[in-house]
Amino acid sequence: MERGGRVLAVSWPVCAAVFWILQGQDSDKDLTLGGHVSAAREAYIEEKTQIDRGVMQRVQHLEVPPAAVQFAPKVAFLFLTKQKLHNLNIWKSFFRDAPRDRYSIYVHESRNDVRSTKQSVYQPLAEYGAQTLPFINGTWCALAGLEAGALQMMLQDPNNAQFALLSDSCIPLKSFAYVYHDLVELSPKTSKVCLAETAQYRKIGEQMKFDGSTGCVFRDFYSRYEPLVRHHHQWAVLSREHAATFVRRGLESHHRYYNAWRQAVPDWAQAGYGCSCEATPLASLLVDMHAKGQSSGDYFEDLKLAGVEQKCLTFVHWHGCFVGHKLNRDNEWKFIARILQSSPVYIMQYLAGHDMDIVNNPLHRPMNSFPYEFRTAIEMDYLNDLADHSFMFARKFHPGVQVLLADGSREPLDDVLPRVWRRVDEAGSSGTVWTRLRNPELPPPYSLVGRVVIAWFGSMIASLVSVLLCDHACARVLPFTLLMLTSVVMFYGLIFKSSDIN
């Protein structure tokens, strides 16, 4: 019994030792430009870089006509689609009553087939004058070149004053009249860009330990290495002047981004962290200011001087960013369930802090914390809350989404949204302006679910150690009892607490 007690007493320290060994002594080694960068990450970065630079080199010297003065300015909508515009009927309602001389519509389809290099067979919103752009080379997280190429073509219309970048899953939260008034009549010379919060730590592993499962995953790691490069949301609104600057300075700013990208999150050398379209457009404006000697020396003051508003006009729900806010959609139990469906080997590697190829393993989607997707339904109150804030658009809406009404019935989003627009036009929005897509009063990171999961894993390891090292049954009672209790809590949460209307 005495031997069994001693073994039981050291079982938890042994578990901690095993975890420390798993972490390895090289978990903090330098993976920046001065140290080792994995071949996989180098290849990933170079592949994306060549795609962007190939387009930017072709368009940087092309002519951009000056803005027209005798005609009404227009909002130019650029839809970047994979194959289809998901919510086509909603956008038809949006443009139906809009004056034809107040907008331009451009659609780029990124299908990688022969037809894409010539003329797409898919022409959405053609009845509203939409133009399908010729195919421009681009791929996931290498879209800065595509955007520069598309903007160069859109700038050929001298009446285009504001350029709204939209994805194929976007929906409008405001009417066209509201959008036009805000973008063209109130702020025609400014761009609206949504920046990410700066990460407190240099490495993504350290940041995630701080955040736990309730920290906002959309973070800026670039500015630590290059002050002019900041992580921002891709779906911005650019003024005509800034769109032209991006086309002209895109290649130069992409070079700065490239240097910061290779150094960012050095503890995930194979993660491929980084998307050029989420850093290069804004960096081009700051690079231009410095080249002209107009910088004040302060980044955020330079944004004001350049005419950039820190304003999030497109809503997207990244994991952990809205904790404690009424717009929060996170379900931690569902998040854990997705992770547990992946390989346990990768889970242990991740928990141990090892570098792993996050792009090419089963943990890619759950651990990369892709934005929340509205697949089947959205509550009426939630939809009204979105529209009442300063957001003009919202992402990740699948086709055929239903609106769940207070009485439990459902109506198609296509039918409900126009009524929401009319209500906002009549009552006005609450005036809440989001400068970051995160709860401004985000509570300190705290995750009861995460603690339960850690206790569960710890109980399993302790039970295994007691089985291997202890030959007395009584000494095994405590770890097995703890394992049973944590397992009950785990499975209860996974079965009964992981539901979602989507």
Mean pLDDT of 225-246: 96
SS3 for 214? coil
Per-residue pLDDT, 353: 59
Mean pLDDT of 382-394: 95
Sequence-separated (6 or more) residues with CB below 8 Å from residue 224: 198, 199, 202, 264
* Chain Cα centroid distance, residue 465: 41
Distance in angstroms between the alpha carbons of the first and the last residue of the chain: 53
Mean pLDDT of 390-400: 96
Dump pLDDT digits (tens) for 98-127.
Answer: 999 999 999 999 865 444 444 555 689 999
SS3 for 65? coil
| H helices, E strands: number in the chain | 16, 15
Within 13 Å of residue 23, how many CA atoms lie on the same side as its CB? 14
Tokens of 90: 């909603």
Nearest Cα to 316, choosing from 234, 388, 200? Answer: 234
Cα separation, 118 vs 122, whole angstroms: 12
Mean pLDDT lowest among 42-46, 278-282, 360-364? 360-364
Cα separation, 365 vs 359, whole angstroms: 9
Give bridge partners of residue 163 from the DSSP assignment.
Answer: 76, 238
Higher per-residue confidence, 406 vs 352: 406
Tokens of 257: 């981004």
Dump pLDDT digits (tens) for 248-277.
Answer: 999 999 999 999 998 888 776 666 678 999
Tokens of 79: 């839809």
Mean pLDDT lowest among 124-128, 142-146, 343-347, 363-367? 363-367
Give pTM, 2 decimals.
Answer: 0.84
The full DSSP string for 257-272 is HHHHHHHSSTT-TTS-
Cα separation, 361 vs 334, whole angstroms: 20
Sequence-separated (6 or more) residues with CB below 8 Å from residue 82: 109, 110, 111, 168
